[in-house]
Amino acid sequence: KIYCTSITANLVHHKIGVPWDRMHVLPLNKRITVAGINLTCFEANHCPGSIIILFEPPNGKAVLHTGDFRFSSEMANNPVLQSSHIHTLILDTTYCNPRYDFPSQEIVIQFVIEAIQAEAFNPKTLFLIGSYTI
């Protein structure tokens, strides 16, 4: 079984042909039990389908696995995460260095909107937005 979000399940099914019966779609923001371990998935604010997973095994030693994520205030204010006693944190630290100071997603989106609006009057302007094939 492939445990994944509905977005990832759709991509895996349509792009590489994995049958639906081979996938188990994980809900967001809802505690479920898989193989005797409670887990809750949260939006990772990264690429489509990415999640942060809180594992809560019977021994009480919770593990939070972030994978790739983009921090947001919603994450810090999440009541489930605030009330959890995390024993182990598995953190992606690719850009965990003070020299990387990225603007917030909201600031970047607003910048793109304003840049497009500033050039929208010109019918010869071509806007190219780079993205993954998905």
pLDDT above 70 (res 134): no
Per-residue pLDDT tens for 63-113? 999 988 888 888 889 999 999 999 999 988 777 788 888 888 889 889 999
Backbone angles phi, psi at 53, to 5 degrees: -120, 130
User: pLDDT value at position 133?
Assistant: 55
CB atoms < 10 A from the CB of 71, how many?
Answer: 13
Per-residue pLDDT tens for 21-54? 999 999 999 999 999 999 999 999 888 899 999 9
Judge contact between 108 and 78, C-beta under 8 A.
no
User: pLDDT value at position 132?
Assistant: 63
Look up the pTM and report it: 0.79
Residue 42, SS3 per DSSP: strand
Q: Which residues contact 92 (CB under 8 A, 6 or more apart)?
A: 66, 67, 68, 69
Judge contact between 48 and 35, C-beta under 8 A.
no
Nearest to 87 by CA among 115, 62, 67: 62
pLDDT above 80 (res 61): yes
pLDDT above 90 (res 117): yes
To which H or E segment does residue 87 belong? strand 86-91
Which domains are delineated in the chain? 2-95 (3.60.15.10)
Structure tokens that stand for 35 in this block: 């193989």
